[in-house]
């Protein structure tokens, strides 16, 4: 496994708080340096508590949220008000409480009928908002937040799915047979251009996946999270003791 920082905390609360504090640090640095901060939010359940910490005064007041652009790492094929929507979870726990303007929020429209078109459109939005040429040279997010499934998937990069092999596009529609679904996801190559990538993983159910990804042999088709190692960026794992219980380190 390429270079990464591993932070282990007693439980989910401490882990989510630490990730929220690190989010604030990276956001402040980016805004000070270039006047903006572009982040791709993670879906699933784990990040909700982290997002709630960000809305609490002690952290909320440290960031000029008007300078933050919100993207997603992946999205399910459901409308924005659906219980399974990653967009809805972030709206409820982070964006609405912070009063973020719609002009700063870029939803992945995985509920569109033509999901390949939706993926291309999202890539165009990223290119436009990250202010880079059509070739996208150098275009990158400041931070990508990721979770980890117990099958070692991350974003919607599931084992043995086509998106794992994508080397050109930044966003793709990825068929996930085990879920009998198609999801939109950022690709490994685009995630790996980010300045920072945070994995936030808690709970006993993830222990084997964490152990295999970080300390097992390299097998990216079976362990997609092993594809994530930002070329020039920082990779940081925020893990609680339960999820890290299988690690030798």
Taking alpha carbons only, the member of 141, 169, 175, 137 closest to residue 156 is: 175
For ligand 6PG, the closer CB: 74 or 212? 74
Q: Which of 149, 188, 224, 244 binds ligand 6PG (CB under 6 A)?
A: 149
For ligand 6PG, the closer CB: 12 or 230? 12
Rounded to 5°, angle at Cα 117 from 112 and 118:
50
- The token pair that represents 182 in the structure block: 């198609």
| Least Å from the CB of residue 67 to ligand 6PG | 25
Residue window 20-59: x/- pattern of binding to ligand 6PG, with contact defined by CB under 6 A: ----------------------xxxxx-------------
Residue 102 backbone zone (phi > 0: left; psi -120 to 50: alpha; other: beta): alpha
For ligand 6PG, the closer CB: 67 or 211? 211
**Phi, psi for residue 50 in degrees, rounded to 5:** -60, -45
Q: How far apart are CA 198 and CA 191, in angstroms?
A: 11
Give the DSSP letter of residue 44: S
| Least Å from the CB of residue 55 to ligand 6PG | 18
224 near ligand 6PG, judged by CB under 6 A: no
Binding site for ligand 6PG (CB under 6 A): 42-46, 73-74, 86, 147-149, 153-156
């Amino acid at each position: 496994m390429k270079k990464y920082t591993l932070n282990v905390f007693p439980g989910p609360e401490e882990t989510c708080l630490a990730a929220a504090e690190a989010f604030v640090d990276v956001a402040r640095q980016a805004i000070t340096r270039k006047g903006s901060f572009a982040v791709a939010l993670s879906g699933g359940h784990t990040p909700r508590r982290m997002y709630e910490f960000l809305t609490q005064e002690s952290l909320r007041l440290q960031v000029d949220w008007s300078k933050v652009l919100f993207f997603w790492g992946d999205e399910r094929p459901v409308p924005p008000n659906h219980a399974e929507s990653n967009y809805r979870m972030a709206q409820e726990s982070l964006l609405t409480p912070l009063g973020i303007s719609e002009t700063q929020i870029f939803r992945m429209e995985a509920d569109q009928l033509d999901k390949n078109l939706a993926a291309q459109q999202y890539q165009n939005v990223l290119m436009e908002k990250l202010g880079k040429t059509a070739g996208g040279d150098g275009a990158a997010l400041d931070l990508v937040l990721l979770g980890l499934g117990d099958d070692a998937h991350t974003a919607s990069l599931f084992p043995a799915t086509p998106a794992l092999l994508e080397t050109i596009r930044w966003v793709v529609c990825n068929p996930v047979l085990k879920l009998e679904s198609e999801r939109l996801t950022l690709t490994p190559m685009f995630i790996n251009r980010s300045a920072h990538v945070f994995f936030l993983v808690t709970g006993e159910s993830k222990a084997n996946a964490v152990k295999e990804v970080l300390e097992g042999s390299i097998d990216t088709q079976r362990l997609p999270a092993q594809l994530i190692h930002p070329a020039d960026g920082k990779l940081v794992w925020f893990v609680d003791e339960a999820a890290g219980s299988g690690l030798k380190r």
